[in-house]
Amino acid sequence: MSIERIKTYCNNPRNRSTVNVGLFILLIISFHYLYLGWQALDYWPVKGAIDGLMVWSVDLLFSQCCQVLDRFLHIDITTVSAHRILAAVNRDGGWARVVVAPECASLKQWLHWIFLMVLFPGPWRHKLWFIPAGLVIIEWTNVVRICGILMMQVWWPNIHIRFGETDINTFHLAHDYIFKVFFYFIIFLMWVFWVEKIKDRPTKNKTK
């Protein structure tokens, strides 16, 4: 397929949805591998800044989760702040636990969102407020994710699902499947909102 045919296809209004979704998938996958490569390079040349941002974002996430579990969900939690551990007694009298590790921080998703929105077409007058709003939503989505992982272990501590040789327990089901999908589903919904409601919003001309 020639470049001209690709341009013609992309410029055809009937193909707009397909092109938008394709570009979204391309940007999401591209950033994933770019981030893995940058991670392998130990975040060169801004490792110090990234490390500091990582510590700050993990501490913020841990604090927010403590507040939500204690004040809003009224869960009697036990914490080990030095190791960012959240624990609560489950329905069987055992312990449910989540460690808010650096990998749990919202940093990758923040960068993912910025990369997606900077490169995806749309007016910058809207991007300048929509990108920060998305960062806030991502952060609180992560709070819901961490609290949800803990609460699933509190309410349903004995889930075991067999897939061949793999035994998926409550924690792995919540962490690796339910809330990971939930996290990226929220990002997808924000992108859909951008495409459908904001990107092509006409400029209102002021008249005297």
The pLDDT value recorded for residue 208 is 39
Query: Which residues of the chain fall below pLDDT 70?
Result: 1, 202-208
- What residues does 166 pair with on adjacent strands? 163
Distance CA 39, CA 47 (A): 10
**Residue 69 neighbours by CB under 8 Å, 6+ apart:** 75, 77, 86, 88, 147, 150
Per-residue pLDDT at 207: 43
Rounded Cα gap, residues 21 and 4, in angstroms = 20
75: tokens are 């869960």
Beta-carbon contacts of residue 30 (< 8 Å; ≥ 6 apart): none
Q: Is the dihedral of CA 3, 194, 184, 40 positive or negative?
A: positive
pTM as predicted: 0.89
Longest CA–CA span in the chain (Å) reads 72
Cβ contact 38:45 at 8 Å: no
